[in-house]
Structure 1
Amino acid sequence: MTQRPERHRQIHLAAHFPGVNSTTVWSDPRSGSHIDFSSFEHLARTAERGLFDFFFLAEGLRPREHKGRIHDLDVVGRPESLTVLSALAAVTERLGLAGTVSATFNEPFELARRFAALDHLSGGRAAWNVVTTSDAFTGENFRRGGYLDRADRYTRAAEFLATARELWDSWTPQGRPRPFAHHGEHFRIEGEFTSPRSPQGHPVVIQAGDSSEGREFAASAADVIFTRHGTLEAGRAFYADVKGRLAAYGRHADELKIMPGVTWVLGDTAAEAQEKAAEIRREQVSPQNAILALEQVWGVDLSSYDPDGPLPAIDPEPASELAQGRVKITDPFAVAAKWRALSEAKGLSIRQTVIETTARQSFIGTPASVAEQMAEFVGADAADGFILVPHLTPGGLDDFVGKVVPLLQERGAYRTEYRGATLRSHLGLREPVWKG
C-alpha cells in the first residue's frame, strides 16, 4: 500500500524580479536584460508554471548615486512597473501581478485608477506594494520636492491607502458611479471615480517595512508583508510580533500573510551547494562593490584602500552624503564595530568581511533539503511563505520550479493547481466588504 505523504501547512510562493543592490550577478553570461520585455515574460511564465501566487516588481524613482556619479552596478532605465505588469497580464492567466509604487510622490485618484485598470485587465490579479519615500534626493524629481518626516510619510501613506479604498468602493453595486468626497489632513479631493469595482474588490495590498511604524501599518491595512529575516528564531519573533498586532484592528491572523524575501542555492550534494553558494557570494561582492559597501558605513572616500586588505582603523562619519538614494545606516559606529570584531576574529579582508555580512543565501542544499527547510520554516510559524529573489535573470527561477516545487507538492505543502482565478483566492484572502 502506498503511504500518504505527511501533511504540512501550505506554503505561499512569489517571484521577485531582482536588480538592485548586489543581488544580481551581472558578470554571469546567463544574466540577461532588465529592459527587454522577454526577460520579464520568462520569469513570469516560470513563476506561473510553478503555480506561484504572484510576480513582484520593485521600482526606483531615481538612479542611485555614489560620490556624485550614478552607481554603475545598479539597474538604470528599467521600465515603469505598472506598464510592465499590464503587458504581463496579456501573457499570463493566473499569476498575480504586484507593483511597487510610492505613496509619497503620487496622488490617490490617479494611482487608484491605474491599479483598478490593472485589476480589470488581469481578471483580478493586481497587487500594490505600498512604500514610502523619505529622502530629498528622490524628492527633487517631483513638483513637491523635499521630503516628509518619517512619521508624516506613514500617516500620509495610511490616508493615501484609505482614500484609494474609498475610491474603489465608490461605485454602486448596480454598476453606477456616484460622487465621492475625502477631506483629510493630506488629501482634499471630490468628484467621481472612473472605474467600476474591480474583479477582486480591491487590489491586494503589500507592505514592505521592518520598522515599528512599518509593522503597525501592515497590521492595520496590509494583506501581505514583504520582510527579511535570516534565521528561524528571528523569523518566529517577527511573525509573532506582527500577527500579535492584528487583534487591535479587529483582524485575524490569517488576514495578513508574512512572506520574507529569500534566496537559495541548489546542488546535487550539500557540499556542491555550499561551494556554489560561496562562488555566488564572491561574484555578488566584486572588489568595487566591497569598497562601496564599506564607504556606506564609514561615510568617507575609501577608494585608496585595498579590497583584499584590512578594514579602516578610522571611525565612521555618519553625516556623510557620499551615497544618495540608498537606505541610510542608522548606527554606523555599531556596524563598524561589528565588522571589525568579525574581521579580527576570522582574519577577514575588506571584501571577505562584506561577503560575510551582506551576501548570504537563505536556503542552501539539495532540492530535497531546501524543500524541507522551507516547510520547517513555515511549520514553525516563522513565515506564511516566501518571495524568491533569484541571483540571475531571467532564468534564475528555472531550477527551483523544476526541482523544488515538485518536492513541496509531494510533501503536501504546496498546491498542485490553481483553484481560483484571483490573487486573493491564491492567498486565501477574503474579498473586502463593499463599503459603497
Structure 2
Amino acid sequence: MTEPRKQIHLAAHFPGVNNTTVWSDPAAGSHIEFSSFVHLAQTAERAKFDFFFLAEGLRLREQGGKIYDLDVVGRPDTFTVLAALAAVTEHLGLAGTINSTFNEPYEVARQFASLDHLSGGRAAWNVVTSWDAFTGQNFRRGAFLREDQRYTRAESFLSAARGLFDSWRGDEIVADKDGGTFLDDHRAGAFTHRDEHFDITGQFNVPRSPQGRPVILQAGDSDTGREFAAASADAIFSRHSTLEAGKAFYTDVKNRLPRYGRTPDQLLVLPAATFVLGDTDADAHERADVVRRQQVSGQTALRFLEQLWNRDLSAYDPDGPLPGIDPHVGENTISRGRASDRAHRDPIATARQWRELAEAKQLSIRELVIEVSGRQTFIGSAATIAETINDLVQQDASDGFILVPHVTPTGLDEFADTVVPLLQERGVFRTEYTGPTLRDHLGLAVPHPHTTTGGSR
C-alpha cells in the first residue's frame, strides 16, 4: 500500500528590511503603510497559506556609525499590525516575533492571548532572544545577556507565559447548589512562577483562547536553539533548504523529540525560502540573475564585506579584487545590530575561503558577495518550483516553507496564482481551510493546560 503523501505547509513572510528586498523594482512599495501588510496577508489567505509572519527589529541597524541604508523605513510594532490584520482576514494565521530578553512574561502573554481572541485562535509567537548591548540600550536595563544565559531566560520566559495562558483552565467555573455556575475569582487566572529570572505571582486577566494558547515558533539553529525547539516549540524555522542539508537538519531536530515525550508530528520544520518564477526554467534563471544584481549593488557589496572584515572598506572598488588585508578580529564595531559577527566565528578563515573562491572563479567583490549570499531557493517555472517543493517535503527535508518575496507587497501574487494551484492538483496542499484556528491549519491539537508542548492530532 502506498503511504499517504504529506501535506505541505506554506507561510508568507512580510519582508523586513534586509538584503533580499529590491527597492528599485517599479512594483516595490512601502514597508510601513498598512495597505502593504493587507495586500500580502490577503494574497496569502487567498492562496490558503497557513500563516503570515512578521519579523521584528528592536533597533535600527548601524554601519560605520550611520543607520544602515536598507533600514531607513523603520519597523512598525508587531502586535499593532497583527491585530489590525485580524480584522481584514478570516482564516490566515498571524505570527509575530517577540523578544524574550527585553520583555516581561505577563505583558507578552496578555498581548498574545488578546490577539488570539481577536483573531479567533490564529495567533503564533516566534520566541527569540537578543544578543547585543546595542539593542539593549533602547531598554531600561541597557545591557544584554551572555549567550549562555539567553536561552535559559527564554525557557523561563516561555514557561511563565504558558503558565499564564493555562491559568484559566475551566475548573474555575464552579457549579452552585441551585444548578447554576459562577466564576471562582480566587482560582481564575491564578499563577505563580519563581526562578532565577522571574519572581511573579498574581492573576491573569485574559481567559483561555480558542486554540488553547498561541502556536509557538522558534528560529534558533545552534544546538541550544534546536534543543529549545524540541522541548517547547510547535514549529522551527530553518535556513537549510537544500535536500541534503535539509534532511540532516530535519532528522536532527525530530530525533530530539522523544526525550521530551514528543512525536515527530508535534514539531514542524519550516525553512525560509525565496523564489524567482519564469515562463520557463531558462527565463527564471535569467530573471534570478537580474534580481541578484538588483539586491547586491556595489555599495551593498562593500557594506556586506565590511561586516566580516570589521573595517571601513569604502575606498575599495566593488568591481575590483577583495582586500589584501585580513579582517580585524575582536569586537565588531563597524556594524551594530546585525547577526554578522555571530555568523562568522573565525573571520580570518572565512576571508581566506572567500579569497580562494574569488581567485578560482575570477570574481570581483560584488560578484563574490552575490555568490556567497545567494538567496534564491527556488528558481524555475511554476511547474518546476511546485515539483521541487513537493519533493523536498515528501523526502523529509522539510514540512513546508516560509516564503520571502523580494518585492513588497505584490511579490507573492505570482506564486499564489501559478504554483499553489499545481500543488493543489497534486493533492498535497489544501484547496480550502478545514478549521478556524492556526492549530487546525498546522495539524496541531489544542494543548491541555499544564502540558509542556502543543500536542498533535
**Could you say whether these structures have the same fold, taking a TM-score greater than 0.5 normalized by the shorter chain as the test?**
yes
Equivalent residue for 1:237?
248
AA paired with 1:350? Answer: I
Equivalent residue for 1:157?
154
User: Take 1:7 and 1:181, find their aligned partners in 2: how far apart are those partners?
Assistant: 45
User: Take 2:386 and 2:393, find their aligned partners in 1: how far apart are those partners?
Assistant: 11
Asked whether the 8 Å contact 1:8–1:411 carries over to 2, the reply is no
CA deviations 1:171-193 (Å, max 9, x no partner) are 24055424211111100001100
What's the CA shift for 1:380? 0.9
What's the CA shift for 1:360? 3.0
SS at match of 1:210: coil
SS at match of 1:305: coil
Q: How does 1:4-403 map to 2 (within 5 A)?
A: 8-173=5-170, 174=172, 176=183, 177-319=188-330, 320-327=332-339, 328=341, 329-403=344-418
What's the CA shift for 1:75? 4.8
Asked whether the 8 Å contact 2:41–2:85 carries over to 1, the reply is yes
Give unpaired runs (5+ residues) of structure 2: 174-182, 452-457
| Mean Cα deviation higher: 31-40 or 223-232 | 223-232
Aligned residues: 432
CA deviations 1:218-256 (Å, max 9, x no partner) are 000000111111421000000000000001100000000
Runs of 4+, deviation exceeding 2 Å = 74-78
User: Take 2:75 and 2:224, find their aligned partners in 1: how far apart are those partners?
Assistant: 30
Asked whether the 8 Å contact 1:265–1:273 carries over to 2, the reply is yes
Asked whether the 8 Å contact 1:290–1:307 carries over to 2, the reply is yes
AA paired with 2:370? Answer: I
What's the CA shift for 1:342? 1.1
Asked whether the 8 Å contact 2:20–2:375 carries over to 1, the reply is no
What's the CA shift for 1:313? 1.1
CA deviations 1:161-180 (Å, max 9, x no partner) are 01000011112405542421
What's the CA shift for 1:416? 0.8
SS at match of 2:70: coil
User: Take 1:74 and 1:288, find their aligned partners in 2: how far apart are those partners?
Assistant: 15
CA deviations 1:250-307 (Å, max 9, x no partner) are 0000000000000011111111000000000000001111000111111111100000
User: Take 2:385 and 2:110, find their aligned partners in 1: how far apart are those partners?
Assistant: 41
AA paired with 2:95? Answer: A
Asked whether the 8 Å contact 1:295–1:302 carries over to 2, the reply is yes
User: Take 2:44 and 2:122, find their aligned partners in 1: how far apart are those partners?
Assistant: 14
SS at match of 1:351: helix
Asked whether the 8 Å contact 1:94–1:125 carries over to 2, the reply is yes
User: Take 1:78 and 1:140, find their aligned partners in 2: how far apart are those partners?
Assistant: 17
Asked whether the 8 Å contact 1:260–1:387 carries over to 2, the reply is yes
TM-score, reference length from structure 1:
0.97
User: Take 1:75 and 1:87, find their aligned partners in 2: how far apart are those partners?
Assistant: 23
User: Take 1:435 and 1:229, find their aligned partners in 2: how far apart are those partners?
Assistant: 33
Equivalent residue for 1:3?
none
User: Take 2:72 and 2:27, find their aligned partners in 1: how far apart are those partners?
Assistant: 16
Q: What RMSD in Å do the two structures reach over aligned CA positions?
A: 1.4
